[in-house]
Amino acid sequence: MTVVPKKRLGQHFLVDDNTLRVIERLAQLDPTDVVLEIGPGLGRLTRFLAERVAHVHAVELDRSLEPELRDLPRTELHWGDALAIDLAILDPPPVKLVSNLPYNVATPIVVESLDGLPEVRNWCVMVQREVADRFFAEPGSKAYGAVSVLLQLTTERTGFHPVSRDVFRPRPNVDSALVAFRRIAPGVPQRVKRVVEGAFAHRRKMLANSLALTGAATREEANAALAEIGRDPTVRAETLEPPEFVALADALP
């Protein structure tokens, strides 16, 4: 059966064996690993993983791919939207997330996994190059934003590998990259996440004004908290280091 990729689902199927070997190296696959894969597609990566780890949880939205994914060894299929399924109840719990993530849900899947999947300690994900650059962007750069802060408070990058457009079918119109990272802390508390997301919601505005516009704090509260952490009230979110957002949240009433 010929499978026609669905653009609305962000499907770009991985077709290159060399890239699989890069994933194996960056993910540091171990025979005892339980791996979560989001968007297995035609199952090429799924089969590769299943031959090297103890168990694979594969979450796929597109039921038309069932014939391609049936009867894979050591693989449990979960049909549905990865952002709607309660992945925290998977048994055995995954310790690694290894995926060629659908473009349209890559960032929310990674961000939600930080505190939603506390057992996951390693990630190796294929994403758009622009997204990969954003994950570990430096403060002050154009790519630096809320997702950068949330990832850097929870993880550290362990690997990065640019990926050619030619390893996918259909060939995407954007560059991609593999990025690997490992957990260094539990997920970000909700009070801190609220401040981070509020701070970057209007990134052209002063941080205090952005927090006020999103309801995360009043302008007066934000200015007082910024003064407490030694920051000028005119500062913008993009200039703060990730730990400063934790200190800012702690300084808010």
pLDDT digits 0-9 by tens, 142-167: 999 999 999 999 999 999 999 999 98
Q: 103 and 148: one domain?
A: yes
- Single pTM value for the model: 0.93
In this prediction, residue 1 has a pLDDT band, given cuts at 50, 70 and 90, of: very low
pLDDT reading at 6 higher than 70:
no
Identify the CATH number of the domain in which residue 222 sits: 1.10.8.100
**CATH number reported for the structural domain that contains residue 173 in this entry:** 3.40.50.150
Report H helices in the chain: 17-27, 44-50, 66-69, 106-116, 129-135, 146-154, 190-200, 207-214, 219-228, 242-251
Among the candidates 148, 183, 218, a domain finishes at: 183
The mean per-residue pLDDT over the stretch 22-39 comes to: 98
In the predicted structure, residue 8 carries a pLDDT above the cut 60:
no
Task: Give the pLDDT confidence score for residue 172 in this predicted structure.
Answer: 84
Structure tokens at 130: 């622009």
In a domain, residue 1? The reply is no
Inter-helix orientation angle 106-116/146-154, to 10° = 40
Q: What mean pLDDT, rounded, does the chain reach?
A: 94
Distance linking the first and last C-alpha atoms of the chain: 60
Show the domain range for 73: 7-183
134 and 216 assigned to the same domain: no
